[in-house]
Amino acid sequence: MTVLVTRGWPGAERTASGLRARGIDPIIAPVLDISFRARIDVDLVQIQALIFTSGNGVRAWGPRRPERDLPVFSVGDNTAADARKIGFRKVYSADGDVHDLAALIQRKLKPQDGALLHVRGIHVAGDLAGELKSEGFQVRDAIGYGAVAVDALREDAIAAILCGAPVAVLIHSTRGAKTFLDLVRKFGLQPWLKSVTAYGISANALKPLENAGFAKLIAAPQPNEDALLDLLVHPLELAPLGNAS
């Protein structure tokens, strides 16, 4: 089975490395280009903690801001590891999704102790700020990067789909899913989707692909990369989502 990695760089290489460690050599075919801002101009006065919901947020902060003393709350373990690598010492991981992250922050912090700074991209999934604000927290945003849709799928990815053999496509976000589907339609690949199974880091990430003609849509049992990649090693242990076609 051919495996397509669709997330943007540099995360795509991390995913590919995880697949190779599991004996799978993937095709890296990002559908989003990550562009980092030249500067992050924010005032940290009265900020009690930083929030990172992706590794790209950490990568945006690292070379652009010197501060490393504030506590960090991350959505997952990989993002937490990235934060530690650039020098943050007090790092908490929700090891889940934005709902788990909101719950972690509510357990560890008090609204009256200061605002939270969410270092994020232009587009976000979920409503982390809304959940926290409903509990009395003040949440500020620092836009560190953006993700721009590519114009075309790589030729080797198109060839893999057209050959009709089983293909697995890895989906890390709803925007990535929508962009992949837009490119499939742009290049007239819909008739071959019956041989393509989409594996998502969460059920929510797969929603744009429902009723699009895929063989199966299968979500990771936990919203993290290890759980997603393990689906390809133990595919029979999980039932597919409905509405794939």
Please, are residues 169 and 206 in contact by the beta-carbon 8 Å criterion? no
User: Can you read off the two tokens belonging to residue 49?
Assistant: 């903690």
Q: Is residue 244 domain-resident?
A: no
> Do 22 and 51 belong to one domain?
no
User: Can you read off the two tokens belonging to residue 161?
Assistant: 């789909």
> Do 46 and 141 belong to one domain?
yes
The tally of domains found in the chain comes to: 2
> Do 201 and 161 belong to one domain?
yes
> Do 129 and 168 belong to one domain?
no
Check residue 125 and give its pLDDT: 73
CATH number, domain with residue 101: 3.40.50.10090
> Do 53 and 156 belong to one domain?
no
Please, are residues 150 and 31 in contact by the beta-carbon 8 Å criterion? yes
Check residue 10 and give its pLDDT: 80
- Let me know how many helices (H) and strands (E) the chain has, helices first: 9, 11
> Do 154 and 54 belong to one domain?
no
Which range, of 119-133, 154-168, 225-239, averages the lowest pLDDT?
A: 225-239
Q: Which of 116, 147, 178 is the last residue of a domain?
A: 147
% of the chain exceeding 90 in pLDDT: 78
% of the chain exceeding 70 in pLDDT: 96
Q: Is residue 116 domain-resident?
A: yes
> Do 137 and 45 belong to one domain?
yes
> Do 128 and 41 belong to one domain?
yes
In angstroms, how far is the first alpha carbon of the chain from the final one?
20
Please, are residues 52 and 83 in contact by the beta-carbon 8 Å criterion? yes
Q: Is residue 65 domain-resident?
A: yes
- At 235, is the pLDDT very low, low, confident or very high (cuts 50, 70, 90)? low
pTM of the entire predicted model: 0.77
- How many beta carbons lie within 10 A of that of residue 152, not counting itself? 12
Q: Is residue 101 domain-resident?
A: yes
Check residue 241 and give its pLDDT: 53
Q: How are strands ordered across the β-sheet holding 72-74?
A: 32-36, 139-149, 115-121, 47-52, 72-74, 91-93
> Do 44 and 134 belong to one domain?
yes
Cis preceding linkage at 66, omega within 30: no
Q: Residue with structure tokens 């700074």?
A: 117
pLDDT in tens, 60-84: 999 999 999 999 999 989 899 999 9
Q: Above 50 in pLDDT, residue 135?
A: yes
Q: Above 60 in pLDDT, residue 147?
A: yes
- At 1, is the pLDDT very low, low, confident or very high (cuts 50, 70, 90)? confident
> Do 93 and 60 belong to one domain?
yes
Please, are residues 140 and 47 in contact by the beta-carbon 8 Å criterion? yes
| Phi, psi torsion values for 52, nearest 5 degrees | -120, 120
Q: Which of 102, 122, 147 is the last residue of a domain?
A: 147
Q: Above 50 in pLDDT, residue 239?
A: no
pLDDT in tens, 191-202: 999 999 999 998
> Do 82 and 117 belong to one domain?
yes
pLDDT in tens, 11-59: 899 899 999 999 999 999 999 998 999 999 999 999 999 999 989 999 9
pLDDT in tens, 173-216: 899 999 999 999 999 999 999 999 999 998 989 999 999 999 99
Task: State which residues form the domain around 206.
Answer: 2-31+150-237
Q: Above 60 in pLDDT, residue 92?
A: yes
Q: Which of 103, 126, 147 is the last residue of a domain?
A: 147
> Do 214 and 232 belong to one domain?
yes
Phi-psi region of 188 (alpha: psi -120 to 50; beta: other; left: phi over 0): left
Please name every residue paired with 190 in a beta bridge, in sequence order, or none if there are none: none
Of residues 150 and 126, more confidently modeled: 150
- At 236, is the pLDDT very low, low, confident or very high (cuts 50, 70, 90)? very low
> Alpha helices, DSSP H only, in 53-206?
55-61, 77-85, 98-108, 128-133, 155-162, 174-186, 203-206
